[in-house]
Amino acid sequence: MKKPTPQFLAEIRNGSIEIHAKVAFKAFLQRFIGKRVFLIIKPVTKTRTINQNAYYWGGVLIPISEHTGHSIEDLHEMFKDMFIARQEITWRGIRRKIPATTKTKDTVEFSEYVDKIIVEASEMGIRILSPEEYYEQFNINIKL
């Protein structure tokens, strides 16, 4: 399983990079002294929106729950296990796999995750409303 890559928040100012967690970053760099590395810089993306999350729990998981009889909480855990890689951490010298989370997914990653669940549901004959159709039921014009 792919090891998660540490990420450090920074800002580019006057042609220089300013790392926010300087001490942690310097400690991390110690692992690579004398080695060549790749440095990837990308813009910070927004984490999943409240509307995306509401659609997921109400518009996606509830219809699947009604069709299968499984609770939305159980479905949530199962789909995370199916579609999001478990994280590996070392705790007291022992490598452990911990459950994945949707909380830190950005808007694109979360949409891709929900799309996989919708495909899974459609393969079972369960129709999931689009976000627009879902919110239209409540006379809410929403943008995800």
**Structure-token pair, residue 141:** 């014009």
Domain 50-136, CATH: 1.10.3790.10
Question: Can you tell me the distance from the alpha carbon of 130 to that of 48, in angstroms, rounded to the nearest whole number?
Answer: 17
In this prediction the pTM is: 0.67
Q: Do 80 and 100 meet the contact criterion of CB atoms below 8 Å apart?
A: yes
In order along its 144 residues, the chain shows pLDDT tens digits of 456 677 888 999 999 999 988 898 999 899 999 999 988 888 877 888 899 999 999 999 999 999 999 999 999 999 999 999 888 889 999 999 998 899 989 999 999 999 999 999 999 999 999 998 998 888 766 665
